[in-house]
Amino acid sequence: MLALALASCEAPYRRPYYALAEQFYVAGDYTHAIQMYLEALRLKDKRPEALYGLAMSYYKTGKLEEAMYAFEKVIELEPKRESAYERLASVHLDLGNPDTAIALSLKAIELDPDFVEAYNTLGHGLFAVGNLDSAEAMFLHSVALAKTVSRQDRQTSFPVIYLDEQAEAYNGLGEIALSRKEYSSALEKFGVALEFVNDWETPWINKGRTYEELGNAQSAIVCYRRAIELAPKVTESYKSLADLYRRTGKDGDALDVYTDAVRENPDDIDAYYGLADLNVKRRDYVHAASALENVMQVSPDDPEGYFRAGKLRMLQSDFDRAIVYYNRALDVDPHHAESLNGLGEAQKAKGNQKEAEKLFLRAFEADSTYTLPLRNLGSLLLSVGREKEGLAWYNKAADLGDIDALIFLRSWESKHKHE
């Protein structure tokens, strides 16, 4: 957690830390801005702007928990600072807390009924909870307000034109139209957003998705490529383009896109997973393993990378190594059902049937909606002559909606009906 009072950094600057932090922030060097803001706060700089700048810098670098804490501290110091409520609302949207974001946006609007950005943030929150009509009303109000309000920037006294806010509102309206399958309207709204801010990647991504819905893969590719050109470190653009290539059978192009993604952003886990999946499909297990090793280095506290590495070793019949990876996943999350099931499969492959049986049961106990362990348990019991028990587990899986279990049971019944 953020340690505002204790944080320190070694920097041979003689100029005031707050002024340096502001310069770094304006230059887009948010990492050094954070260091300077923290140093200013450590030296008991009383300006709330230092704390606000720190919060914004954390937000810009994707450190959402730290940003949330810092914005909360700003609100403690300045409970009527509407922008802090709106920015904190945006953080909660990114953290998947739309209800909290809605409440904070409403508070910002209560403090300043002409706060254009807050209506957009409120619109995003309402959209996230499925209230499309209210979200649409907020975005439309934001557009109307942006055309009539002329607030003065607090630092420069220049008028605020609200180009970004109008672009955001039209992008939100486009997303609503897309969710309603009103594709022509969606394309129109995204186009208007780009008229206001033509170098913003998000409307380009959304245009690409709309073209995909219309079956126009070539236009979608152009949009995704444009988004990547504008924001080469944004994961979403690469994922959308690579997924499209994979759906249209262009695995080689998808492989190139994922490779570009990790070159631009070495922390892009989705791209590493994509590389792993495609290399497994090509039976290039060496490069698949390399991609998964990168995942485990980038995100050592996520069991998914270890689990996938275990699956890869199973494909290579390296059961001992698979067991090592599955156990590493379980060290991170002892209730990771997929890893428990994978560990059971590895033990079964090694002939340890009793251990495998226990692990399949543990996997189902960890996730009662996960039916693969039930099929695995049924298969194991049938293989050792415990027919009644094995079929019972297949039936349980079928009752939970497992189509493969149902197909097996029908095949079994057909094969044994005359016995």
The confidence score (pLDDT) of residue 158 equals 55
Give the chain's residues under pLDDT 70: 1-15, 45-46, 150-161, 418-419
Pseudo-torsion of CA 289, 290, 292, 295, nearest 10°? 170
The confidence score (pLDDT) of residue 381 equals 96
- The pTM of the full predicted model, rounded to 2 decimals, is 0.81
Cross-strand partners of 159: 152
Residues listed for the chain: 419
Distance separating the N- and C-terminal Cα atoms of the chain: 67
Q: What is the pLDDT of residues 380-409, one digit of tens each?
A: 999 999 999 999 999 999 999 999 999 999
274 backbone dihedrals φ, ψ, rounded to 5°: -60, -45
What are the chain's domains?
1-79 (1.25.40.10), 371-419 (no CATH)
**Alpha carbons 346 and 142: distance in angstroms, whole number:** 57
The confidence score (pLDDT) of residue 1 equals 42
The confidence score (pLDDT) of residue 8 equals 39
Half-sphere exposure (Cβ direction) of 127: Cα atoms closer than 13 Å: 23
List Cα–Cα distances, 139 to 76, 116, 175, 406, in angstroms: 29, 9, 11, 48
The confidence score (pLDDT) of residue 18 equals 84
The full DSSP string for 280-321 is HHTT-HHHHHHHHHHHHHH-TT-HHHHHHHHHHHHHTT-HHH
Q: What is the pLDDT of residues 242-279, one digit of tens each?
A: 999 999 999 999 999 999 999 999 999 999 999 999 99
The confidence score (pLDDT) of residue 48 equals 83
Q: How many CB atoms lie within 10 A of CB 158?
A: 8
The confidence score (pLDDT) of residue 159 equals 57
The confidence score (pLDDT) of residue 13 equals 39
Please give the structure tokens belonging to residue 355: 């251990």
